[in-house]
Amino acid sequence: MDSDIIIRGYENKDWENVCDIFTKAKPEEFRGVIAGENILPLQKDAEILKLFQNSDIYVAEMYNNVIAFAGYSKYLISFLFVNPEYCRRGVATKLLQHILPMIGNQAWLLVLKTNLAAISLYNRFGFDTAEEFNGSYNDIEVVVLRLALSPQLKPWLLK
């Protein structure tokens, strides 16, 4: 399976697939915290869309089908979404293996405290919890963890 996955740079032709993956995967991220009807699609969430446009995006492709995407903006891992049909098959691992060398040891990200699968994945790559705080998504309060490879460097403060 792993050898069938190709990682490549995002192209405009990938937009519909990326939006579809986001729509399918985002409810998994918020499971038990935010109901699906409160989750905006990527193309309708102005803040997330702006982050997408300002990120370097890579897609995972299998048999010419885009099955996942990841992105980063400076040191922030801004996106890592896998089509739920392909979860737990090493796709996210392969995307992280591809983008982390480009970001370096100052990589950091935000993840919901309840997203145990994602936290476990990032922990395997050496990410540690830098802080826990209350955040919000569409005016719904959530508990967020800031994970970082080198929390002592506080790369989220760097401009």
- DSSP labels, 23-59: HHHHHHHTTTTS-GGGPPPGGG-HHHHHHHHTSEEEE
Nearest to 71 by CA among 49, 39, 41, 40: 49
Nearest to 149 by CA among 105, 96, 98, 104: 105
- Span 48-79, pLDDT tens digits: 999 999 999 999 999 999 999 999 999 999 99
Total domain count, the chain: 1
User: Which residues pair with residue 133 across a beta bridge?
Assistant: 144
- Span 2-54, pLDDT tens digits: 679 999 999 999 999 999 999 999 878 777 666 667 677 889 889 999 999 99
- Residues of the domain holding 116: 2-157
Q: What is the CATH number of the domain that holds 65?
A: 3.40.630.30
